[in-house]
């Protein structure tokens, strides 16, 4: 094969080009050619033409390499996770998280201001009615009570003198020894002394009560569930010092969402299971539903009374409260994973794999209830129809698919 010299940009080497059927330079160095150097510049190949020959060579190589190969086979049907719908034997129970609390729980606080000098109970202690749980410094209250008693004594002496004077004036008036106006003045003085005595008596009683209020007593039997003030602290009247959970009835408290509220009625029974006590279930009765929703969570507080709690049930335990669903209109319901729910415009829908041709159909459904991991459908499905469980946002109507079971069915359990 003969080579024709090309001008090279370097002084000692020159790119050689094949004379026949060569799409670009072969990058083979050859010796300098004096005749080529002397040729006019217009006869020399320009460097940009050599650069353009590289893509052409690549395209030609790809064309030659692709000759003789067949076309790529068409992709098969897309696999989708789909399972037959099965009608529920009964509506699943509403299960809500909750907490065990005492039915009655009140804060214990002093009725007067003062400084706490003594606390007699601690968190978790059981108390009985009338038991002293804390004391305030009684110095100021003692002085006020003593002052009120002194004022009462003075008012009582003033009343005794006014009564004696009234008796003398009445006797003299019967003998016409004094004027009628003097008797009326004596009666007025007696009435004023009587009122002052009564006022002093009430003030003395109030001071005695305030002295008594420096001692905090438990008004019911129960358990101390919180300590909110310490010894040496100055507290205001009504400021909580302890929180007392009454002995007796025990409640299970839960927050009910709007979707569940319509199915609950006062007196409805429920089953309560406690996390620390596995394997034990307690019967409870719904006794109260909040009439207004919480402004933050938009849920309604429900309180259930445990009918026969065992001694192992402790306040504050976490609970799962299951309400039995009331019977519907007799139409079947279907519970599917929440991942199967799609939409058709504003309406909820699911993807159905048609029998026979395995193509997809988007069908509207009516959702009866939403749970944490499942949804219950009231209308739109028939027993045995295959429902797409996963990937509902990646398929289209009329697409041919290949249904496969889920790799981990337990992940879709309720």
pLDDT at position 6, please? 46
Structure-token pair, residue 98: 């909750």
Between CA 50 and CA 47 the distance in angstroms is 5
On whether the CB atoms of residues 287 and 235 are closer than 8 A, the answer is no
- Strand ordering across the sheet containing 234-235: 215-217, 132-136, 114-119, 234-235
pLDDT of 104 higher than 80: yes
CA separation (Å) from 243 to 104, 133, 240, 397?
Answer: 11, 11, 7, 62
On whether the CB atoms of residues 316 and 304 are closer than 8 A, the answer is no
Give the list of residues 6+ apart from residue 76 with CB closer than 8 angstroms, or none.
402
On whether the CB atoms of residues 110 and 214 are closer than 8 A, the answer is yes
Task: Give me the architecture of the 248-323 domain, per CATH.
Answer: Beta Barrel (2.40)
pLDDT of 250 higher than 50: yes
Strands 269-274 and 277-289: antiparallel
| CATH of region 82-90+329-412, choose from 3.40.50.300, 1.10.10.10, 1.10.287.3240, 2.40.420.20 | 2.40.420.20
Region at 161 (left for phi over 0; alpha for psi -120 to 50; beta for the rest): alpha
> In the structure, what pLDDT confidence band is assigned to residue 60 with cuts at 50, 70 and 90?
low
CA separation (Å) from 32 to 13, 18, 25, 319, 340?
Answer: 7, 16, 16, 95, 77
Give the list of residues 6+ apart from residue 135 with CB closer than 8 angstroms, or none.
116, 117, 118, 120, 214, 215, 216
Between CA 388 and CA 381 the distance in angstroms is 12
Structure-token pair, residue 374: 């499942």
pTM for the full predicted model: 0.58
> In the structure, what pLDDT confidence band is assigned to residue 9 with cuts at 50, 70 and 90?
very low
Best mean pLDDT range from 28-37, 52-61, 149-158: 149-158
Q: What SS3 class is residue 222? A: strand
Q: What SS3 class is residue 16? A: strand
- In degrees and rounded to multiples of 5, residue 60 shows phi and psi of -65, -40
Structure-token pair, residue 190: 């007696």
pLDDT of 67 higher than 70: no
Between CA 336 and CA 340 the distance in angstroms is 7
pLDDT of 291 higher than 50: yes
Give the list of residues 6+ apart from residue 168 with CB closer than 8 angstroms, or none.
none
Structure-token pair, residue 4: 């024709």
Residue for token pair 């003045």: 185
Pairwise pLDDT comparison (110 vs 407), residue with the higher score:
110
Average confidence score pLDDT of the chain: 83
Task: Tabulate helix, strand, coil % of the chain (nearest 5).
Answer: 25, 35, 40
The DSSP element (H or E) to which 301 belongs, if any, is: strand 300-306
Exposed, middle or buried: residue 295 (CB in 10 Å: 0-12, 13-18, 19+)?
exposed
Between CA 57 and CA 23 the distance in angstroms is 6
pLDDT at position 257, please? 87
Pairwise pLDDT comparison (326 vs 201), residue with the higher score:
201
DSSP conformational letter for 120: -
Task: Domain ranges for the chain, please list them.
Answer: 3-66, 82-90+329-412, 116-217, 248-323
Between CA 236 and CA 253 the distance in angstroms is 31
Give the list of residues 6+ apart from residue 199 with CB closer than 8 angstroms, or none.
155
pLDDT at position 71, please? 62
> In the structure, what pLDDT confidence band is assigned to residue 53 with cuts at 50, 70 and 90?
low
Q: What SS3 class is residue 330? A: coil
Structure-token pair, residue 224: 């101390």
Q: What are 300-354's pLDDT values in tens digits?
A: 999 999 998 988 999 999 999 998 766 555 678 888 999 999 998 889 999 999 9
Best mean pLDDT range from 59-68, 226-235, 365-374: 226-235
Comparing 157-171, 220-234, 310-324, the range with the smallest average pLDDT is 310-324
Nearest CA to 227 out of 236, 238, 214, 240 is that of: 240
Q: What is the mean pLDDT of residues 392-401?
A: 90
pLDDT of 65 higher than 70: no
> In the structure, what pLDDT confidence band is assigned to residue 146 with cuts at 50, 70 and 90?
very high
pLDDT at position 362, please? 93
CA angle 185, 188, 193 (to 5 degrees): 125
Structure-token pair, residue 329: 């209109």
On whether the CB atoms of residues 190 and 166 are closer than 8 A, the answer is yes
Between CA 253 and CA 380 the distance in angstroms is 36
On whether the CB atoms of residues 17 and 25 are closer than 8 A, the answer is yes
Comparing 56-70, 161-175, 317-331, the range with the smallest average pLDDT is 56-70
Percent of the chain with pLDDT over 70: 79
pLDDT of 414 higher than 80: no
């Amino acid at each position: 094969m003969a080579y024709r010299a090309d001008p090279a940009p370097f002084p000692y080497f020159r790119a050689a080009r094949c004379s026949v059927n060569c799409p670009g330079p072969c990058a083979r160095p050859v010796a300098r050619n004096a005749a080529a150097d002397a040729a006019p510049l217009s006869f020399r190949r320009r460097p940009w033409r050599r650069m353009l020959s590289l893509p052409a060579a690549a395209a030609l190589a790809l064309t030659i390499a692709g000759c003789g190969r067949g076309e790529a086979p068409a992709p098969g049907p897309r696999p989708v996770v789909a399972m037959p719908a099965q009608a529920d034997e009964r509506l699943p129970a509403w299960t809500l998280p909750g907490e065990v609390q005492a039915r009655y729980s009140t804060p214990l606080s002093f009725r007067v201001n003062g400084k706490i000098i003594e606390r007699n109970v601690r968190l978790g202690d059981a108390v009985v009615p009338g038991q002293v749980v804390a004391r305030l410094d009684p110095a100021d209250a003692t002085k006020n009570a003593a002052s009120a008693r002194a004022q009462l004594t003075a008012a009582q002496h003033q009343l005794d003198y006014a009564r004696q004077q009234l008796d003398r004036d009445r006797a003299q008036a019967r003998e016409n020894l004094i004027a009628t106006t003097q008797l009326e003045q004596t009666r007025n003085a007696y009435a004023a002394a009587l009122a002052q005595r009564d006022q002093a008596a009430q003030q003395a009683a109030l001071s005695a009560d305030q002295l008594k209020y420096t001692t905090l007593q438990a008004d019911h039997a129960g358990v101390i569930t919180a300590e909110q003030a310490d010894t040496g602290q100055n507290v205001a009247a009504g400021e909580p010092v302890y929180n007392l959970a009454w002995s007796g009835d025990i409640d299970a408290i839960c927050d009910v969402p709007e979707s569940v509220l319509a199915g609950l009625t006062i007196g409805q029974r429920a089953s309560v299971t406690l996390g620390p006590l596995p394997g034990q279930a307690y019967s409870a009765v719904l006794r109260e539903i909040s009439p207004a929703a919480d402004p933050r969570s938009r849920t309604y507080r429900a309180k259930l009374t445990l009918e026969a709690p065992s001694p192992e049930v402790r306040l504050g335990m976490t609970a799962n409260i299951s309400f039995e669903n009331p019977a519907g209109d007799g139409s079947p319901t279907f519970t599917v994973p929440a991942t199967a729910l799609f939409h058709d415009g504003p309406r909820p829908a699911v993807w159905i794999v048609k029998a026979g041709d395995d193509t997809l159909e988007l069908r509207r459904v009516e959702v009866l209830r939403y749970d944490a991991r499942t949804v219950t459908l009231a209308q739109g499905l028939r027993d045995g129809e295959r429902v797409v469980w996963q990937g509902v946002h990646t398929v289209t109507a009329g697409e041919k698919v290949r249904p496969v079971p889920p790799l981990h069915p337990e992940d879709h359990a309720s």
